Amino acid sequence: MSSITDYALPNPVNQNRSGIIGRAVDRYEGPLKVSGTAPYAAEVKTPSPPAYGVFVGAEIGCGWVRAVDDVAAKAAPGVKLVWHVFDQPPGQGEAGAKSYVQGQAVADPVFVNPKVRFFGQPVALVVADTFENATAAAGMVRVSYEEDPEAEYEFQPADAAPAENDQDSAVGEFELAFAEAPIQLDEVYETPIQNHCQMEPCATTAWWEEGTVQVNTSVQMIKGPQHLVAETLQIHRENVHLMSLYVGGGFGGKGSSYEDLASAALASRVLRQPVKIVLTRQQMFNATVHRPATVQRVRLGATPDGRLTALSLMVATHCARNAPFIERAAAFSRALYAAPNRLTGHRLQLLDIAVASAMRAPGEASGMMSLEAAMDELADRLGLDPIELRIRNEPDKHPESGQPYSARQLIECMQDGAAKFGWNKRNPKPGQTRDGRWMVGMGMAAAIRGNFLLPAKASLKVDAEGNIRLRQGMTDIGTGSYTILAQIAAETMGVPLEKVIVEIGDSGFAPAPGSGGQFGAASAGSGALAGGMALRAKLTEMAIADPASPLYGAAPEAVEFRDGLITVENRSETLAALVTRLSPEGIEAEGSSSPAPDIRQFASYSHGAQFAEVGVDTITGEVRLRRMLGVFACGRILNAKTAKSQITGGMIWGVGTALTEINRVDPRYGSLGSQDLGTYFPPVHADIANLDAYFLP
């Protein structure tokens, strides 16, 4: 692709002749999932009975493992091995070593360092014949620690400092403009630590076949974990066959992998037996990652008629001492509203608690709360409708880079949604609308999220029955990747959906970036289209060159694919006939897509508006959602059903983020206060009343 504008050129997905692109097609893998037969990483059938690994978690927040008494554990029934820093797994690469220069991971050996960096960090592994025996023996491992008196567990925003690789963004003279602004708003907002709460915990099943380790794991991306296993086990990456066929929720938390991955492969290598390791729910909270807390200062300067003259969002947040990560809660604000003088940035405190990382719209989920609440405060001060205030500050180009927007339907989202939600019934004066003992209020917020396109490949193969098989190293974390890829393959090859087989989540397949931060469908889908176009070109070339084909001698640009046929005007044959005659074992082609070189010349974002009606119990203070509507403009919708599920799921997580989900560090131990779903509260059905969403064309 030479230019971003090429996306508008005719191609099968754009033309969508059969209408299958965008249709509310049921999930490709739905029957497997609802019948419990989709094999998740811990459920795959192993070639021989597996052993089960269970981790022992650190019982201090920061310090060193000084001794491990594993005598009782080793003598416990069924125990096959116990590993810890004094009895390490053999054959691991040096931490951080990288033999494959272009690889996406470094060696990450397990149990080689006595350092305890966070509470719950795996400090020992017990593998036994049954999960129960492994769990019982893990409870018998006695670990002695030396605590680090220098440990810091408590987030102190004042101690947060500028981070490497993260510059403040300054335009104009913010401080001056804010000081001179006729209307000034200066507010501080806080967000707590929150956890991903994937339904499926992280899990790995590994076994060896003729020098190759077969690894089934639950991750959002394929290549990084594959390379991690290779580097850690010091084997060639071709000898790591990594599969992540079904993923029971990622939300950013499976963008990284954890000790289960290498440990299962290592233990399987030593034991010459399949090994299965599943993190416990408590370990999912303690020993994976979380969204860090933030303290955000928003300053808005405005004219009395509601034009922003100064905008600042400064965010203090935290991450683990040895795992740099910035919850970039200010980044989106650089693209949302016009204001000539701007200052945004992040400050970071390094803590000795579990690793902070991406979670459910990293950055936006935390940061939009503060800026959008501040915009509402400002609207109230100005006596303006919150939507009108936002419209008055709509930029005509990216307010910091000056780039044109590739698309921008924010105002349309707000106005369309307002009409459907009944926004005009809102009483702008707080506390006026009552329903029995409930106070009822309406609110809205803008939504924005960057668009990230990454290179992707896909291979498509047509067999002698005319079936199309798509293979791609993509993942489906519950979003609908299987389904949209089937739709793209069907439309591109001109076959009905029933003729398409989608195989993804396998390191042996043409690579795609996986699932995460708004790049999955666009990147993998573009790769699938490219793969289909490559196969069309190959089939066209073969048909027009074959005297036995009715298309013999036709001009390639006149060839079309529809109804399972390859056709030119009134001449055609079935794909099955073509393949049967010329290459009965099937015909395969691989295509690749890359972002156009000029993609960075555009500011490219999805936009939306969300409206909520919320009740507050005037006796108890309980806050409950009463109804909610989201309107989104996200470009082409590939599947109305899976896209709506995803966006309403995102809204529900938003309700959790705003109302129910909170975790806290106990500063005496460095541990999280909530370690299970009995004390950490994602929203449940009863919290989600009357929630709906739609997309603008």
User: Residue 280 or 472: which CB sits closer to another protein?
Assistant: 280
Could you tell me the two tokens for 9? 């050129």
Question: Which of 6, 132, 147, 569 lies at the binding interface for another protein (CB under 8 A)?
Answer: 132
Strand segments, DSSP code E, in 165-321 are 169-171, 183-191, 194-195, 203-209, 212-217, 240-243, 275-278, 289-291, 294-302, 308-320
Least Cβ distance, residue 219 to another protein (angstroms): 26
User: The sheet that has 456-462: what strands, in order across it?
Assistant: 500-504, 468-472, 456-462, 587-593
Q: Is 148 in the site for another protein (CB under 8 A)?
A: no
User: Residue 77 or 402: which CB sits closer to another protein?
Assistant: 77
Task: Please state the φ and ψ torsions of residue 535, each to the nearest 5 degrees.
Answer: -70, -40
Least Cβ distance, residue 688 to another protein (angstroms): 9
CB atoms within 10 A of CB 182: 10
Q: Is 660 in the site for another protein (CB under 8 A)?
A: yes
User: Residue 582 or 616: which CB sits closer to another protein?
Assistant: 616
Question: Which of 101, 158, 161, 686 lies at the binding interface for another protein (CB under 8 A)?
Answer: 686
User: Residue 425 or 685: which CB sits closer to another protein?
Assistant: 685
Least Cβ distance, residue 136 to another protein (angstroms): 5
Question: Which of 32, 183, 596, 659 lies at the binding interface for another protein (CB under 8 A)?
Answer: 659
Among residues 564, 586, 585, the alpha carbon closest in space to that of 573 is found at 564
Torsion of CA 569, 575, 577, 578, to 10 degrees: 80
Distance CA 162, CA 44 (A): 46
First-to-final CA distance of the chain: 24
Least Cβ distance, residue 127 to another protein (angstroms): 16
User: Residue 193 or 458: which CB sits closer to another protein?
Assistant: 193
Strand segments, DSSP code E, in 104-233 are 115-116, 122-128, 142-147, 169-171, 183-191, 194-195, 203-209, 212-217
Distance CA 298, CA 313 (A): 5
Site for another protein in 415-454 (CB under 8 A): 436-437
Task: Please state the φ and ψ torsions of residue 85, each to the nearest 5 degrees.
Answer: -65, -20
User: Residue 286 or 593: which CB sits closer to another protein?
Assistant: 286
Stretch that binds another protein, among 169-177, 558-566, 591-599, 621-629 (CB under 8 A): 621-629
Least Cβ distance, residue 287 to another protein (angstroms): 12
Residue 569 one-letter amino acid: E
Q: Are strands 355-356 and 289-291 parallel, antiparallel or unpaired?
A: parallel
Least Cβ distance, residue 134 to another protein (angstroms): 10
Residues 22/16, Cβ–Cβ less than 8 Å: yes
Site for another protein in 109-128 (CB under 8 A): 119
Least Cβ distance, residue 248 to another protein (angstroms): 18
Q: From residue 564 to residue 603, what is the string marking binding to another protein with x (rule CB under 8 A)?
A: ----------------------------------------
Enumerate helices (H) and strands (E) in the chain, giving the number of each: 15, 32
Q: Is 687 in the site for another protein (CB under 8 A)?
A: yes
Residues 189/279, Cβ–Cβ less than 8 Å: no
Q: From residue 40 to residue 59, what is the string marking binding to another protein with x (rule CB under 8 A)?
A: -----------------x-x
For 259, the enclosing helix (H) or strand (E) is helix 259-271
Stretch that binds another protein, among 344-352, 450-458, 578-586, 660-668 (CB under 8 A): 660-668
Q: Is 679 in the site for another protein (CB under 8 A)?
A: yes
Could you tell me the two tokens for 628? 């909610």
Stretch that binds another protein, among 223-231, 269-277, 628-636, 670-678 (CB under 8 A): 670-678
Distance CA 342, CA 490 (A): 48
Strand segments, DSSP code E, in 416-505 are 434-435, 438-450, 456-462, 468-472, 500-504
Least Cβ distance, residue 389 to another protein (angstroms): 32
User: Residue 58 or 490: which CB sits closer to another protein?
Assistant: 58
What residues are paired with 323 via a beta bridge?
320
Q: From residue 357 to residue 376, what is the string marking binding to another protein with x (rule CB under 8 A)?
A: --------------------
Least Cβ distance, residue 139 to another protein (angstroms): 5
Q: Is 626 in the site for another protein (CB under 8 A)?
A: no
Could you tell me the two tokens for 19? 């209408």
Question: Which of 273, 317, 475, 674 lies at the binding interface for another protein (CB under 8 A)?
Answer: 674
Question: Which of 31, 47, 77, 304 lies at the binding interface for another protein (CB under 8 A)?
Answer: 77
Dmax (CA) for the chain in angstroms is 84
Distance CA 554, CA 558 (A): 7
Q: Is 36 in the site for another protein (CB under 8 A)?
A: no
CA distances (Å), 390 to each of 376, 379, 517, in order?
A: 9, 9, 25
Question: Which of 39, 103, 114, 139 lies at the binding interface for another protein (CB under 8 A)?
Answer: 139
Stretch that binds another protein, among 8-16, 399-407, 500-508, 673-681 (CB under 8 A): 673-681
Question: Which of 201, 528, 683, 691 lies at the binding interface for another protein (CB under 8 A)?
Answer: 683
Question: Which of 321, 624, 626, 641 lies at the binding interface for another protein (CB under 8 A)?
Answer: 624
Indicate the DSSP class of residue 7. G
Distance CA 579, CA 538 (A): 11
CA angle, 297 as apex, 293 and 301 as ends, to 5°?
155
Question: Which of 20, 65, 128, 136 lies at the binding interface for another protein (CB under 8 A)?
Answer: 136
Distance CA 432, CA 446 (A): 24
Least Cβ distance, residue 677 to another protein (angstroms): 9
Torsion of CA 424, 428, 433, 439, to 10 degrees: 120
Q: Is 96 in the site for another protein (CB under 8 A)?
A: no
Least Cβ distance, residue 685 to another protein (angstroms): 7
Distance CA 312, CA 516 (A): 28
Q: Are strands 665-666 and 623-633 parallel, antiparallel or unpaired?
A: unpaired
User: Residue 6 or 622: which CB sits closer to another protein?
Assistant: 622
Residues 358/255, Cβ–Cβ less than 8 Å: yes
Stretch that binds another protein, among 43-51, 322-330, 332-340, 667-675 (CB under 8 A): 667-675
In the complex, the residues that contact another protein under the rule CB under 8 A are 57, 59, 77, 119, 132, 135-136, 139, 282, 436-437, 619-622, 624, 659-660, 664, 666, 668-669, 671, 673-676, 678-679, 681, 683-687
